[in-house]
């Protein structure tokens, strides 16, 4: 499931709905996926 989230996040920004380059961080302890633009 996390892989799917990462793919969706890297392809389209959930805030602006535009394709953007992004760095993804996954917090394993909480399963949070963080994005840095």
Residue with tokens 């394709």: 19
Positive or negative torsion for Cα 37, 34, 16, 21: positive
Task: Report the mean per-residue pLDDT for the chain.
Answer: 65
HSE toward the beta carbon, residue 6, CA cutoff 13 A: 11
pLDDT of residue 28: 76
**Most confident region among 11-15, 20-24, 27-31 by mean pLDDT:** 27-31
Q: Which of 22, 26, 25, 16 is nearest to 37 (CA)?
A: 22
> pLDDT at residue 1 above 60?
no
> How much is the average pLDDT of 15-31?
68
How does residue 2 score in pLDDT terms, banded at 50, 70 and 90? low
Instruction: Report residue 24: phi and psi, to 5°.
Output: -110, 135
Strand partners, 27: 32
> pLDDT at residue 3 above 70?
no
Q: Which two tokens stand for residue 14?
A: 């959930």
């Amino acid at each position: 499931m996390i892989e799917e989230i990462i793919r969706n996040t890297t392809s389209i920004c959930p805030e602006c709905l535009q394709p953007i380059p992004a760095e993804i961080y996954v917090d394993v302890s909480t399963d949070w996926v963080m994005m840095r633009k």
